[in-house]
Amino acid sequence: MFDLSITPLLFAAVIVGMTAALLAWRERYEPGSIPLFVLLVGQIWWSISLLFQLEAATLSAKVFWMNMSWIGVVAIPVAWLFFALEYTGRDQYVQTRYVGLVSVVPLATVWLAMTSQFHDLLYLETTLVETAGVVRLNYVAGPWYWIIAGYTYFLGILGSIPLLELVWSEATEFRGQSSAVLIGTVAPWLTSVLYVTGVLPTGGIDPTPIAFAVSGVAYLGALTRFRLFGTNPSPNRHAPELLFEEMNQGAIVVDSNDYVVELNGEAVRSLGVERPAALGEPGSEIVPEYNELPADGAMSGHLTIETDGRTGKYDVTVTEITNAYDRVIGRVISLHDITDYLQQQQRLEVLNRVLRHNIRTETNVIAGYAGLLTDEYDSKEARVIKRRADRLEEIGEKGREILELFETGPSEEPIPVDGLLEACVADVRSAYPHVDVDVEPTGEDVHVAGVLEVVCENLVENAAEHNLDDDPWMRVTAESDGDRVTITVADNGPGIDEYEREVLESGTETQLEHGSGLGLWLVKWGAEMAGGTVEFAENDPTGAIVTVEVPVEPSPESADPWARIPTDALEGSAASSFVSTRSTLGSSTTGRTRSTRSRNP
């Protein structure tokens, strides 16, 4: 049986509750914080009312404070429900009309409590009983008492359901938060149930406010230890809807009977339809060539859609929707607009033709006439024209290499790193015998993407061609850690201008900030297509250090012609023979032509 020794416990519940309420109010702009604050204030109100009721000496005073306690009693379950809804992202239900609807019974209870002297709906009888010198209030519950009790427990269960979903969440933080909040709610609710059913002997004193001490500690733990409003799951429920609506692909959802049940904004724009009019219509009336779409997977070919004078080309993917029993209940039709891509592809094809044929033809004509003028007159102007024509041809060659790089991409067969380095170095030694070239291979059977061939060729040839030092040298090294390969090309030449490196690091060019050519872009793009990165740095005291890091690729199943040739056999005259062999076996595959490349990018 309880006596006045419960007063310290009630004070503890008030203090802990006030601390938690202040923390909740501090986070009042976070989802669920305001309802939690109201819940905690309701607990504090109930506890304080019970303290005053215990201290009151007359029947009327005790009844007054018991009636006042109903304000906190009925606020708690309402606040709990809307906290759970808002905190878990169901805030579409946290609106004035819903709050008002849920609050009808609690407000009626408060009104009945304040007018209890005029009716017997809440209490059939209230009397004072003295036990062991302690005067307490004894009452017999009326019919409305059981209505509000049942309603309170109903709201408690309803609010616990969305939080129980988070208990099994993959995020540890959310599991801790929801568990702590549920403990803080279950403790007083369970105490109340035991009191109302008469299981807990309390001498007529409702012990629920005492359980608020446990509740407050649990809420404090949720607010501090588990960062209740610092890491909030509320966006999770809105994210799928937002992603579906704002994704840059059109998405049409059809049911198992091929009727449109949903479509996003991009689909509305692509199909040129009104969303309300499209919903519920057969898919064949909304999506062109609907009957030609696959049941599941990607459509072969392109889907053409004409809307408002615009003709769009789309890649189409169909994904089946299955239920818990693995039964197909619908499909999602995804429309990916490739109109701009096809136009860009056409432009690249035209550019490819111009670079491959037109520019080469015109520069050959210019160079030929300039050569004739130089032979006949040996004029300075003719020599300048000849150099510029050669430079233009070199730029055209770079452009052709880049286009071929984009065409073949990383689809080329993996090649051994050491064979790649030795072959590239062999070319340089033959073309620039005055440059001291040193190579340090990995010494391992490691392969990289075939697209790295053009990267290595450009790096070593450019490093040698424009090295004007009295004692020019170049060092090419390769290292592997089993997962990635690092290739470093260092020289003592003039280095790479700072503005060139800045343009590459930013990844964009403008009219005021741009590179002087295509060489470094070719190296950068080739490394990225191989799944790697490239870094440019200054050498000490002069020169450049270029580091390319790419992932290791699995060895090709077919025998590699490079791998059959020992690396030491590539030295000297054997290297020239190997280069010729490789030109037939490898370079012809990509369609590249050998030429002297400029150090200037």
Q: Do 423 and 364 lie in a common domain?
A: no
Determine whether 258 is exposed, middle or buried from the number of CB atoms within 10 Å of its CB (0-12, 13-18, 19+): middle
Q: Do 277 and 205 lie in a common domain?
A: no
State mean pLDDT over 68-83: 96
Question: What pLDDT is recorded for position 571?
Answer: 42
Identify the domain containing residue 46 by its residue range.
Answer: 4-236
Question: What pLDDT is recorded for position 400?
Answer: 66
Average pLDDT for the chain: 81
Q: Do 14 and 159 lie in a common domain?
A: yes
Tens of pLDDT, residues 436-449: 999 999 988 899 98
On whether residue 597 sits in a domain, the answer given is no
On whether residue 598 sits in a domain, the answer given is no
On whether residue 599 sits in a domain, the answer given is no
CATH of the domain at 276: 3.30.450.20
Q: Do 401 and 546 lie in a common domain?
A: no
Contact 551, 531 (CB under 8 A): yes
On whether residue 221 sits in a domain, the answer given is yes
Q: Looking at 312, 337, 362, which one is the last position of a domain? A: 337
Question: What pLDDT is recorded for position 278?
Answer: 92
Residue 494 DSSP SS3:
coil
Contact 576, 430 (CB under 8 A): yes
Contact 136, 127 (CB under 8 A): no
Residues 6+ apart with CB under 8 A from 526: 405, 451, 452, 454, 455
Question: What pLDDT is recorded for position 410?
Answer: 58
Q: Do 130 and 209 lie in a common domain?
A: yes
On whether residue 242 sits in a domain, the answer given is no
Question: What pLDDT is recorded for position 490?
Answer: 92
CATH of the domain at 134: 1.20.1070.10
State mean pLDDT over 154-165: 92
Q: Do 257 and 366 lie in a common domain?
A: no
Determine whether 576 is exposed, middle or buried from the number of CB atoms within 10 Å of its CB (0-12, 13-18, 19+): middle
Q: Looking at 314, 337, 360, which one is the last position of a domain? A: 337
Which one of 164-173, 283-292, 400-409, 562-571 scores highest in mean pLDDT?
283-292
Question: What pLDDT is recorded for position 573?
Answer: 36
Q: Do 422 and 388 lie in a common domain?
A: no
Q: Do 299 and 345 lie in a common domain?
A: no
Q: Do 261 and 384 lie in a common domain?
A: no
Q: Nearest-CA neighbor of 597 among 448, 360, 399, 439?
A: 399
Question: What pLDDT is recorded for position 151?
Answer: 96
Verdict on whether the full-model pTM lies above 0.95: no
193-228 b/e (C-beta count within 10 Å ≥ 16 → b): ebbbeeeeebeebbbbbbbbbbbbbbbbbbbeebeb
For residue 386, what pLDDT band results from cuts at 50, 70 and 90?
A: confident
β-bridge pairing 473-480 and 436-440: parallel
Measured distance CA(598)–CA(601) in Å, rounded: 7
Tens of pLDDT, residues 251-295: 999 999 999 999 999 999 889 899 899 999 999 999 998 988 988
Tens of pLDDT, residues 216-243: 888 888 888 888 888 778 887 778 878 8
How many structural domains does the chain have?
A: 4
Question: What pLDDT is recorded for position 131?
Answer: 72
- Can you list the positions of beta strands (E) in 215-323? 250-255, 260-263, 297-298, 303-307, 310-322
Tens of pLDDT, residues 468-515: 888 999 999 999 998 999 999 999 988 877 756 666 665 544 433 334
State mean pLDDT over 282-311: 86
Contact 263, 245 (CB under 8 A): no
Q: Do 402 and 419 lie in a common domain?
A: no
Q: Looking at 236, 257, 279, which one is the last position of a domain? A: 236
The one-letter amino acid at 39: L
Residues 6+ apart with CB under 8 A from 124: 139, 140, 141, 142
On whether residue 333 sits in a domain, the answer given is yes
Question: What pLDDT is recorded for position 354?
Answer: 65
Tens of pLDDT, residues 7-26: 888 899 999 999 999 999 99
DSSP 400: H
Contact 251, 318 (CB under 8 A): no
State mean pLDDT over 107-112: 97
Which two structure tokens, joined as six digits, stand for 215? 């509740």
On whether residue 101 sits in a domain, the answer given is yes
Q: Do 561 and 429 lie in a common domain?
A: yes
On whether residue 323 sits in a domain, the answer given is yes
DSSP 292: G
Is the predicted pLDDT of residue 583 greater than 50, yes or no?
A: no
Q: Do 459 and 386 lie in a common domain?
A: no
Higher pLDDT, 518 or 469: 469
Question: What pLDDT is recorded for position 412?
Answer: 67
